[in-house]
Chain A
Protein backbone atom coordinates (compact mmCIF):
# COMPACT_ATOMS: atom_id res chain seq x y z
CA UNK A 1 0.00 0.00 0.00
CA UNK A 2 1.04 3.57 -0.57
CA UNK A 3 3.03 4.56 2.54
CA UNK A 4 1.30 7.94 2.79
CA UNK A 5 -2.15 6.35 2.67
CA UNK A 6 -1.04 3.67 5.11
CA UNK A 7 0.32 6.23 7.58
CA UNK A 8 -2.77 8.44 7.28
CA UNK A 9 -5.06 5.47 7.93
CA UNK A 10 -3.15 4.46 11.04
CA UNK A 11 -3.11 8.01 12.30
CA UNK A 12 -6.87 8.37 11.81
CA UNK A 13 -7.53 5.06 13.59
CA UNK A 14 -5.24 5.79 16.55
CA UNK A 15 -6.49 9.36 17.01
CA UNK A 16 -10.14 8.28 16.77
CA UNK A 17 -9.72 5.43 19.25
CA UNK A 18 -7.75 7.64 21.60
CA UNK A 19 -10.36 10.40 21.54
CA UNK A 20 -13.18 7.92 22.11
CA UNK A 21 -11.28 6.43 25.04
CA UNK A 22 -10.74 9.93 26.38
CA UNK A 23 -14.44 10.73 26.24
CA UNK A 24 -15.40 7.64 28.20
CA UNK A 25 -12.42 8.02 30.50
CA UNK A 26 -14.21 11.09 31.85
CA UNK A 27 -17.28 8.90 32.48
CA UNK A 28 -15.18 6.28 34.31
CA UNK A 29 -13.51 8.99 36.35
CA UNK A 30 -16.81 10.58 37.37
CA UNK A 31 -18.31 7.21 38.31
CA UNK A 32 -15.16 6.35 40.23
CA UNK A 33 -15.11 9.70 42.03
CA UNK A 34 -18.78 9.26 42.83
CA UNK A 35 -18.19 5.87 44.43
CA UNK A 36 -15.19 7.17 46.39
CA UNK A 37 -17.32 10.00 47.75
CA UNK A 38 -20.40 7.82 48.44
CA UNK A 39 -22.52 9.18 45.59
CA UNK A 40 -23.62 7.76 42.26
CA UNK A 41 -21.93 9.95 39.67
CA UNK A 42 -23.71 10.53 36.34
CA UNK A 43 -26.89 8.44 36.02
CA UNK A 44 -29.37 10.40 33.89
CA UNK A 45 -28.08 10.41 30.30
CA UNK A 46 -28.40 6.90 28.89
CA UNK A 47 -27.95 3.63 30.76
CA UNK A 48 -26.00 4.36 34.01
CA UNK A 49 -25.02 7.69 32.47
CA UNK A 50 -23.05 6.11 29.64
CA UNK A 51 -24.05 8.81 27.16
CA UNK A 52 -22.89 11.59 29.48
CA UNK A 53 -19.64 12.26 27.51
CA UNK A 54 -21.67 12.88 24.33
CA UNK A 55 -23.98 15.23 26.18
CA UNK A 56 -20.97 17.05 27.62
CA UNK A 57 -19.37 17.45 24.21
CA UNK A 58 -22.60 18.78 22.69
CA UNK A 59 -23.04 21.20 25.57
CA UNK A 60 -19.47 22.49 25.29
CA UNK A 61 -19.85 22.96 21.53
CA UNK A 62 -22.96 25.10 21.96
CA UNK A 63 -21.65 27.35 24.71
CA UNK A 64 -20.96 30.96 23.92
CA UNK A 65 -17.29 31.61 23.34
CA UNK A 66 -16.23 34.61 25.42
CA UNK A 67 -12.86 36.23 24.88
CA UNK A 68 -12.04 38.79 27.59
CA UNK A 69 -11.77 42.32 26.22
CA UNK A 70 -8.33 42.72 27.77
CA UNK A 71 -6.98 39.46 26.34
CA UNK A 72 -4.60 38.94 23.45
CA UNK A 73 -7.08 37.42 21.00
CA UNK A 74 -4.68 35.54 18.71
CA UNK A 75 -2.69 33.85 21.44
CA UNK A 76 -5.84 33.22 23.46
CA UNK A 77 -7.39 31.29 20.55
CA UNK A 78 -4.16 29.56 19.61
CA UNK A 79 -3.48 27.86 22.95
CA UNK A 80 -6.38 25.33 23.20
CA UNK A 81 -5.92 23.63 19.79
CA UNK A 82 -2.17 23.59 20.35
CA UNK A 83 -2.43 21.85 23.72
CA UNK A 84 -4.73 19.12 22.38
CA UNK A 85 -2.58 18.69 19.26
CA UNK A 86 0.55 18.13 21.34
CA UNK A 87 -1.24 15.74 23.69
CA UNK A 88 -2.52 13.64 20.77
CA UNK A 89 0.77 13.76 18.87
CA UNK A 90 2.61 11.95 21.69
CA UNK A 91 0.57 8.82 20.90
CA UNK A 92 2.27 8.45 17.50
CA UNK A 93 5.05 6.18 18.77
CA UNK A 94 3.14 4.08 21.32
CA UNK A 95 3.08 0.44 20.14
CA UNK A 96 -0.34 -1.04 20.89
CA UNK A 97 0.53 -4.44 19.48
CA UNK A 98 3.49 -5.77 17.43
CA UNK A 99 2.19 -4.28 14.19
CA UNK A 100 -0.14 -1.59 15.43
CA UNK A 101 1.72 1.63 15.88
CA UNK A 102 1.50 4.78 13.83
CA UNK A 103 5.21 5.47 13.55
CA UNK A 104 8.18 3.38 14.66
CA UNK A 105 10.70 6.16 15.20
CA UNK A 106 14.18 5.12 16.24
CA UNK A 107 14.13 8.05 18.67
CA UNK A 108 10.62 7.24 19.93
CA UNK A 109 11.17 7.86 23.64
CA UNK A 110 12.89 11.16 22.93
CA UNK A 111 10.00 12.14 20.65
CA UNK A 112 7.43 11.54 23.41
CA UNK A 113 9.49 13.50 25.93
CA UNK A 114 10.06 16.36 23.50
CA UNK A 115 6.44 16.70 22.41
CA UNK A 116 5.03 16.38 25.94
CA UNK A 117 7.70 18.82 27.11
CA UNK A 118 6.28 21.34 24.65
CA UNK A 119 2.94 21.14 26.45
CA UNK A 120 4.01 23.81 28.92
CA UNK A 121 3.89 26.35 26.10
CA UNK A 122 0.13 26.29 25.37
CA UNK A 123 -0.59 26.53 29.09
CA UNK A 124 1.66 29.54 29.45
CA UNK A 125 0.49 31.14 26.17
CA UNK A 126 -3.18 30.76 27.13
CA UNK A 127 -2.71 32.06 30.65
CA UNK A 128 -0.57 35.03 29.62
CA UNK A 129 -2.99 35.92 26.84
CA UNK A 130 -5.93 35.78 29.28
CA UNK A 131 -4.56 38.80 31.12
CA UNK A 132 -5.97 37.35 34.33
CA UNK A 133 -3.99 37.29 37.58
CA UNK A 134 -5.24 33.90 38.69
CA UNK A 135 -4.41 32.42 35.30
CA UNK A 136 -0.93 33.92 35.37
CA UNK A 137 -0.21 32.62 38.89
CA UNK A 138 -1.48 29.18 37.94
CA UNK A 139 0.56 29.10 34.75
CA UNK A 140 3.73 30.17 36.54
CA UNK A 141 3.25 27.31 38.97
CA UNK A 142 2.46 24.94 36.10
CA UNK A 143 5.62 25.89 34.21
CA UNK A 144 7.84 25.73 37.30
CA UNK A 145 6.39 22.34 38.17
CA UNK A 146 6.58 20.94 34.65
CA UNK A 147 10.19 21.92 34.05
CA UNK A 148 11.23 20.73 37.52
CA UNK A 149 9.69 17.29 37.09
CA UNK A 150 11.01 17.11 33.53
CA UNK A 151 14.46 16.36 34.97
CA UNK A 152 13.64 13.19 36.98
CA UNK A 153 11.23 12.11 34.23
CA UNK A 154 13.98 12.30 31.66
CA UNK A 155 16.50 10.49 33.84
CA UNK A 156 13.99 7.77 34.72
CA UNK A 157 13.14 7.15 31.05
CA UNK A 158 16.86 6.99 30.27
CA UNK A 159 17.03 3.79 32.33
CA UNK A 160 14.93 1.60 29.97
CA UNK A 161 16.88 3.15 27.09
CA UNK A 162 20.13 2.18 28.78
CA UNK A 163 18.94 -1.34 29.59
CA UNK A 164 17.43 -2.07 26.17
CA UNK A 165 20.14 -0.25 24.20
CA UNK A 166 17.58 1.45 21.94
CA UNK A 167 15.41 4.57 21.99
CA UNK A 168 12.62 3.07 19.90
CA UNK A 169 9.59 2.30 22.08
CA UNK A 170 8.79 -0.88 20.14
CA UNK A 171 12.46 -1.87 20.38
CA UNK A 172 12.30 -1.53 24.17
CA UNK A 173 9.15 -3.68 24.26
CA UNK A 174 10.78 -6.36 22.11
CA UNK A 175 13.83 -6.38 24.36
CA UNK A 176 11.58 -6.92 27.39
CA UNK A 177 9.80 -9.77 25.60
CA UNK A 178 13.13 -11.55 25.21
CA UNK A 179 14.80 -10.64 28.52
CA UNK A 180 12.02 -9.98 31.04
CA UNK A 181 10.09 -6.87 31.99
CA UNK A 182 12.08 -3.95 33.35
CA UNK A 183 9.83 -3.58 36.36
CA UNK A 184 11.38 -6.72 37.86
CA UNK A 185 14.49 -7.67 35.99
CA UNK A 186 17.32 -5.54 37.31
CA UNK A 187 15.80 -6.15 40.71
CA UNK A 188 14.99 -2.87 42.45
CA UNK A 189 16.49 -0.68 39.72
CA UNK A 190 13.56 -1.07 37.34
CA UNK A 191 11.05 -0.63 40.13
CA UNK A 192 12.77 2.54 41.40
CA UNK A 193 12.94 3.91 37.86
CA UNK A 194 9.25 3.20 37.35
CA UNK A 195 8.32 4.85 40.67
CA UNK A 196 10.21 8.02 39.68
CA UNK A 197 8.71 7.92 36.19
CA UNK A 198 5.21 7.51 37.58
CA UNK A 199 5.40 10.32 40.13
CA UNK A 200 7.15 12.68 37.71
CA UNK A 201 4.68 12.05 34.90
CA UNK A 202 1.73 12.63 37.21
CA UNK A 203 3.29 15.90 38.27
CA UNK A 204 3.98 16.87 34.65
CA UNK A 205 0.33 16.33 33.87
CA UNK A 206 -0.79 18.45 36.85
CA UNK A 207 -2.90 15.63 38.23
CA UNK A 208 -3.92 15.61 41.86
CA UNK A 209 -2.00 15.40 44.22
CA UNK A 210 0.18 17.66 42.05
CA UNK A 211 -2.49 20.03 40.80
CA UNK A 212 -1.36 23.24 42.52
CA UNK A 213 -1.58 25.11 39.17
CA UNK A 214 -5.33 24.57 39.18
CA UNK A 215 -5.88 24.68 42.93
CA UNK A 216 -9.52 25.73 42.66
CA UNK A 217 -9.73 26.82 46.29
CA UNK A 218 -7.08 29.50 45.78
CA UNK A 219 -6.73 30.15 42.03
CA UNK A 220 -10.32 29.70 40.73
CA UNK A 221 -9.29 27.38 37.89
CA UNK A 222 -5.67 28.28 37.25
CA UNK A 223 -4.54 28.76 33.63
CA UNK A 224 -7.99 28.00 32.22
CA UNK A 225 -9.87 30.58 34.32
CA UNK A 226 -10.91 32.77 31.38
CA UNK A 227 -11.71 29.94 28.97
CA UNK A 228 -15.30 29.03 28.15
CA UNK A 229 -17.05 26.35 26.13
CA UNK A 230 -15.08 24.11 23.82
CA UNK A 231 -11.80 25.96 24.40
CA UNK A 232 -11.96 25.02 28.05
CA UNK A 233 -12.99 21.54 26.94
CA UNK A 234 -9.86 21.23 24.83
CA UNK A 235 -7.59 21.91 27.80
CA UNK A 236 -9.54 19.33 29.77
CA UNK A 237 -9.33 16.85 26.90
CA UNK A 238 -5.59 17.36 26.53
CA UNK A 239 -5.10 16.51 30.20
CA UNK A 240 -7.03 13.26 29.80
CA UNK A 241 -5.33 12.27 26.54
CA UNK A 242 -1.98 12.94 28.15
CA UNK A 243 -2.83 10.85 31.21
CA UNK A 244 -3.81 7.91 28.98
CA UNK A 245 -0.71 8.25 26.79
CA UNK A 246 1.52 8.42 29.87
CA UNK A 247 -0.10 5.25 31.25
CA UNK A 248 0.48 3.53 27.89
CA UNK A 249 4.08 4.74 27.81
CA UNK A 250 4.67 3.47 31.36
CA UNK A 251 3.20 0.10 30.36
CA UNK A 252 5.45 -0.05 27.30
CA UNK A 253 8.65 1.06 29.01
CA UNK A 254 8.43 -0.90 32.26
CA UNK A 255 5.73 -3.57 31.97
CA UNK A 256 6.64 -5.16 28.65
CA UNK A 257 4.00 -3.37 26.56
CA UNK A 258 2.12 -5.87 24.40
CA UNK A 259 4.15 -8.79 25.73
CA UNK A 260 2.16 -11.40 27.68
CA UNK A 261 1.11 -15.02 27.55
CA UNK A 262 -2.01 -16.49 26.00
CA UNK A 263 -3.71 -13.42 24.59
CA UNK A 264 -3.11 -11.11 21.62
CA UNK A 265 -0.67 -8.26 22.24
CA UNK A 266 -3.33 -5.60 21.95
CA UNK A 267 -5.28 -7.10 24.87
CA UNK A 268 -2.24 -7.08 27.13
CA UNK A 269 -1.33 -3.53 26.18
CA UNK A 270 -4.86 -2.27 26.81
CA UNK A 271 -5.06 -4.17 30.10
CA UNK A 272 -1.77 -2.75 31.37
CA UNK A 273 -2.64 0.77 30.29
CA UNK A 274 -6.05 0.59 31.95
CA UNK A 275 -4.56 -0.73 35.20
CA UNK A 276 -1.90 2.00 35.33
CA UNK A 277 -4.43 4.67 34.45
CA UNK A 278 -6.82 3.43 37.14
CA UNK A 279 -4.03 3.65 39.71
CA UNK A 280 -3.52 7.34 38.87
CA UNK A 281 -7.27 7.73 39.19
CA UNK A 282 -7.28 6.10 42.60
CA UNK A 283 -4.44 8.35 43.76
CA UNK A 284 -6.24 11.39 42.41
CA UNK A 285 -9.38 10.79 44.43
CA UNK A 286 -7.79 9.65 47.68
CA UNK A 287 -4.80 11.96 48.20
CA UNK A 288 -4.70 15.60 49.24
CA UNK A 289 -3.08 18.32 47.20
CA UNK A 290 0.54 19.13 48.02
CA UNK A 291 1.66 22.70 48.61
CA UNK A 292 3.90 24.20 45.93
CA UNK A 293 6.97 24.28 48.17
CA UNK A 294 6.44 20.64 49.21
CA UNK A 295 6.23 19.67 45.57
CA UNK A 296 9.38 21.56 44.65
CA UNK A 297 11.21 19.94 47.56
CA UNK A 298 10.02 16.47 46.59
CA UNK A 299 11.38 17.01 43.10
CA UNK A 300 14.68 18.78 43.69
CA UNK A 301 15.72 17.30 47.02
CA UNK A 302 14.56 13.76 46.50
CA UNK A 303 13.62 12.73 42.95
CA UNK A 304 16.52 14.38 41.09
CA UNK A 305 19.37 12.91 43.19
CA UNK A 306 17.49 9.60 43.47
CA UNK A 307 17.14 9.35 39.70
CA UNK A 308 20.84 10.11 39.23
CA UNK A 309 21.74 7.33 41.67
CA UNK A 310 19.38 4.84 39.99
CA UNK A 311 20.85 5.73 36.60
CA UNK A 312 24.37 5.02 37.90
CA UNK A 313 23.16 1.73 39.39
CA UNK A 314 21.60 0.74 36.07
CA UNK A 315 24.86 1.48 34.23
CA UNK A 316 26.81 -0.60 36.76
CA UNK A 317 24.31 -3.43 36.40
CA UNK A 318 24.68 -3.42 32.63
CA UNK A 319 28.45 -3.53 33.01
CA UNK A 320 28.79 -6.08 35.83
CA UNK A 321 25.91 -8.46 35.15
CA UNK A 322 25.73 -8.33 31.39
CA UNK A 323 29.47 -7.88 31.13
CA UNK A 324 29.26 -5.08 28.61
Chain B
Protein backbone atom coordinates (compact mmCIF):
# COMPACT_ATOMS: atom_id res chain seq x y z
CA UNK B 1 0.00 0.00 0.00
CA UNK B 2 1.43 3.41 -0.91
CA UNK B 3 1.42 5.68 2.09
CA UNK B 4 2.23 9.01 0.46
CA UNK B 5 -1.04 10.87 -0.35
CA UNK B 6 -0.02 11.63 -3.94
CA UNK B 7 0.96 8.02 -4.55
CA UNK B 8 -2.26 6.82 -2.97
CA UNK B 9 -4.23 9.14 -5.23
CA UNK B 10 -2.48 7.97 -8.36
CA UNK B 11 -3.03 4.32 -7.41
CA UNK B 12 -6.69 5.15 -6.90
CA UNK B 13 -6.88 6.85 -10.27
CA UNK B 14 -5.29 3.85 -11.96
CA UNK B 15 -7.72 1.39 -10.46
CA UNK B 16 -10.60 3.69 -11.40
CA UNK B 17 -9.27 3.79 -14.96
CA UNK B 18 -9.06 0.01 -15.05
CA UNK B 19 -12.65 -0.32 -13.91
CA UNK B 20 -13.97 2.47 -16.09
CA UNK B 21 -16.66 1.88 -18.65
CA UNK B 22 -14.16 1.24 -21.43
CA UNK B 23 -15.79 -0.98 -24.01
CA UNK B 24 -13.93 -4.30 -23.55
CA UNK B 25 -14.25 -5.18 -27.22
CA UNK B 26 -11.92 -2.27 -28.07
CA UNK B 27 -9.05 -4.00 -26.32
CA UNK B 28 -10.05 -7.56 -27.14
CA UNK B 29 -7.42 -8.93 -29.53
CA UNK B 30 -9.86 -11.37 -31.08
CA UNK B 31 -11.86 -8.40 -32.42
CA UNK B 32 -8.80 -6.92 -34.15
CA UNK B 33 -8.95 -7.74 -37.82
CA UNK B 34 -5.63 -9.47 -38.62
CA UNK B 35 -5.96 -8.56 -42.30
CA UNK B 36 -5.15 -4.96 -41.27
CA UNK B 37 -1.61 -6.10 -40.66
CA UNK B 38 -1.48 -8.12 -43.90
CA UNK B 39 -1.34 -4.87 -45.86
CA UNK B 40 2.00 -4.20 -44.20
CA UNK B 41 3.66 -7.36 -45.57
CA UNK B 42 4.26 -5.86 -49.06
CA UNK B 43 5.39 -2.60 -47.50
CA UNK B 44 7.92 -4.40 -45.32
CA UNK B 45 9.16 -6.44 -48.30
CA UNK B 46 9.49 -3.19 -50.22
CA UNK B 47 11.51 -1.58 -47.42
CA UNK B 48 13.77 -4.64 -47.15
CA UNK B 49 14.35 -4.61 -50.90
CA UNK B 50 15.16 -0.87 -50.81
CA UNK B 51 17.72 -1.43 -48.07
CA UNK B 52 19.12 -4.35 -50.06
CA UNK B 53 19.57 -2.13 -53.11
CA UNK B 54 21.45 0.46 -51.08
CA UNK B 55 23.69 -2.10 -49.37
CA UNK B 56 24.41 -4.02 -52.57
CA UNK B 57 25.58 -0.84 -54.30
CA UNK B 58 28.01 -0.07 -51.50
CA UNK B 59 29.26 -3.66 -51.52
CA UNK B 60 29.45 -3.63 -55.33
CA UNK B 61 31.55 -0.49 -55.21
CA UNK B 62 33.83 -2.17 -52.65
CA UNK B 63 34.36 -5.14 -54.99
CA UNK B 64 34.68 -3.20 -58.25
CA UNK B 65 36.41 -0.08 -56.96
CA UNK B 66 40.15 0.44 -57.26
CA UNK B 67 42.18 0.58 -54.06
CA UNK B 68 45.62 2.05 -53.56
CA UNK B 69 48.27 -0.37 -52.23
CA UNK B 70 49.41 2.18 -49.74
CA UNK B 71 47.45 5.13 -48.53
CA UNK B 72 49.38 8.43 -48.49
CA UNK B 73 48.83 10.11 -45.12
CA UNK B 74 47.45 13.23 -46.79
CA UNK B 75 44.67 11.34 -48.53
CA UNK B 76 42.95 10.51 -45.27
CA UNK B 77 42.90 14.16 -44.20
CA UNK B 78 39.57 15.90 -43.80
CA UNK B 79 38.93 18.40 -46.58
CA UNK B 80 39.29 21.95 -45.39
CA UNK B 81 39.89 24.00 -48.53
CA UNK B 82 43.42 22.66 -48.95
CA UNK B 83 44.60 23.76 -45.52
CA UNK B 84 45.54 21.37 -42.76
CA UNK B 85 42.35 20.74 -40.76
CA UNK B 86 42.23 22.64 -37.49
CA UNK B 87 40.80 20.59 -34.63
CA UNK B 88 37.71 18.44 -35.07
CA UNK B 89 34.21 19.20 -36.30
CA UNK B 90 32.56 17.46 -33.34
CA UNK B 91 31.82 20.66 -31.51
CA UNK B 92 28.92 22.52 -29.96
CA UNK B 93 26.86 24.51 -32.41
CA UNK B 94 24.67 27.55 -32.49
CA UNK B 95 21.57 27.44 -30.20
CA UNK B 96 19.31 28.84 -32.92
CA UNK B 97 19.02 25.30 -34.30
CA UNK B 98 17.77 24.23 -30.88
CA UNK B 99 15.04 26.88 -30.99
CA UNK B 100 13.94 25.68 -34.43
CA UNK B 101 13.71 22.14 -33.08
CA UNK B 102 11.59 23.34 -30.15
CA UNK B 103 9.14 25.22 -32.36
CA UNK B 104 9.02 22.19 -34.64
CA UNK B 105 8.00 19.95 -31.74
CA UNK B 106 5.25 22.43 -30.84
CA UNK B 107 3.76 22.20 -34.32
CA UNK B 108 4.43 18.53 -34.98
CA UNK B 109 2.63 17.30 -31.87
CA UNK B 110 -0.36 19.11 -33.25
CA UNK B 111 -0.31 16.69 -36.21
CA UNK B 112 -1.12 13.89 -33.78
CA UNK B 113 -4.43 15.69 -33.16
CA UNK B 114 -5.09 17.00 -36.64
CA UNK B 115 -4.74 13.71 -38.55
CA UNK B 116 -7.35 11.68 -36.59
CA UNK B 117 -9.58 14.72 -36.56
CA UNK B 118 -9.35 15.07 -40.35
CA UNK B 119 -10.53 11.48 -40.77
CA UNK B 120 -13.53 11.97 -38.48
CA UNK B 121 -14.76 15.46 -39.33
CA UNK B 122 -17.71 14.09 -41.29
CA UNK B 123 -19.02 11.89 -38.51
CA UNK B 124 -18.33 14.31 -35.65
CA UNK B 125 -19.96 17.33 -37.30
CA UNK B 126 -19.85 20.97 -36.30
CA UNK B 127 -18.71 20.29 -32.73
CA UNK B 128 -15.40 18.82 -33.91
CA UNK B 129 -14.81 21.70 -36.32
CA UNK B 130 -15.35 24.31 -33.60
CA UNK B 131 -13.12 22.34 -31.22
CA UNK B 132 -10.33 22.17 -33.80
CA UNK B 133 -10.72 25.87 -34.62
CA UNK B 134 -10.22 26.70 -30.95
CA UNK B 135 -7.19 24.42 -30.82
CA UNK B 136 -5.65 25.89 -33.99
CA UNK B 137 -6.32 29.42 -32.74
CA UNK B 138 -4.45 28.63 -29.53
CA UNK B 139 -1.67 27.25 -31.69
CA UNK B 140 -1.65 30.39 -33.82
CA UNK B 141 -1.43 32.43 -30.60
CA UNK B 142 1.64 30.38 -29.69
CA UNK B 143 3.00 31.07 -33.16
CA UNK B 144 2.37 34.83 -32.75
CA UNK B 145 4.13 34.73 -29.35
CA UNK B 146 7.12 32.97 -30.92
CA UNK B 147 7.24 35.59 -33.68
CA UNK B 148 7.04 38.47 -31.19
CA UNK B 149 9.72 36.92 -29.00
CA UNK B 150 11.96 36.65 -32.04
CA UNK B 151 12.26 32.87 -31.74
CA UNK B 152 11.84 32.58 -35.50
CA UNK B 153 14.47 35.20 -36.30
CA UNK B 154 17.53 33.76 -37.94
CA UNK B 155 20.45 35.81 -36.62
Contact = CB atoms under 8 A, between A and B. Distances in A.
A130 B77 CA distance: 11
Contact of A65 (B38, B62, B91, B126): B62
Interface in B80-134: 80-81, 85, 88-91, 93-94, 97, 100-101, 103-104, 107-108, 111, 114-115, 118-119, 121-123, 125-126, 129, 132-133
B27 interface: no
A53 to B, nearest CB: 14
Given A80-B54, A84-B54, A308 B121 contact: no
A106 B39 contact: yes
Contact of B65 (A62, A77, A83, A134): A62
A155 B114 contact: yes
B83 to A, nearest CB: 11
B132 to A, nearest CB: 7
Given A84-B53, A103-B46, A147-B104, 7 more contacts: A71-B78, A80-B54, A128-B90, A158-B115, A162-B118, A234-B54, A296-B152
B79 to A, nearest CB: 6
Contacts of B42: 3, 6-7, 10-11, 92, 102-103
Given A70-B88, A80-B58, A229-B65, A315 B93 contact: no
A136 B45 contact: no
B-side interface mostly:
helix
A307 to B, nearest CB: 10
B21 interface: no
A64 B51 contact: no
Contacts of A311: 114, 136
Given A128-B90, A311-B136, A165 B122 contact: yes
Contacts of A229: 61, 65
Interface string A5-42: 01110111011000100000000000000000000000
B136 to A, nearest CB: 5
A151 interface: yes
Nearest to B144: A305
Contacts, number: 236
Nearest to B56: A81
Nearest to B106: A151
19 contacts: A4-B41, A14-B46, A15-B49, A15-B50, A64-B66, A68-B79, A69-B76, A70-B78, A70-B85, A89-B50, A89-B51, A103-B46, A130-B89, A131-B88, A132-B89, A143-B97, A147-B101, A158-B115, A231-B61
A147 B107 CA distance: 10
Contact of A132 (B49, B66, B78, B119): B78
B66 A62 contact: yes
Interface of B: 36, 38-43, 45-47, 49-51, 53-55, 57-58, 60-62, 64-68, 75-81, 85, 88-91, 93-94, 97, 100-101, 103-104, 107-108, 111, 114-115, 118-119, 121-123, 125-126, 129, 132-133, 136, 139-140, 143, 146-147, 152-154
B14 to A, nearest CB: 31
A76 to B, nearest CB: 11
B121 A63 contact: no
Nearest to A145: B100
B146 to A, nearest CB: 8
B100 A161 contact: no
Nearest to A93: B43
Interface in A107-164: 110-111, 115, 128, 130-136, 140, 143-144, 147-148, 150-151, 154-155, 158, 161-162
Contacts of B126: 319
A195 to B, nearest CB: 19
A144 B152 CA distance: 12
Nearest to B43: A103
B111 to A, nearest CB: 5
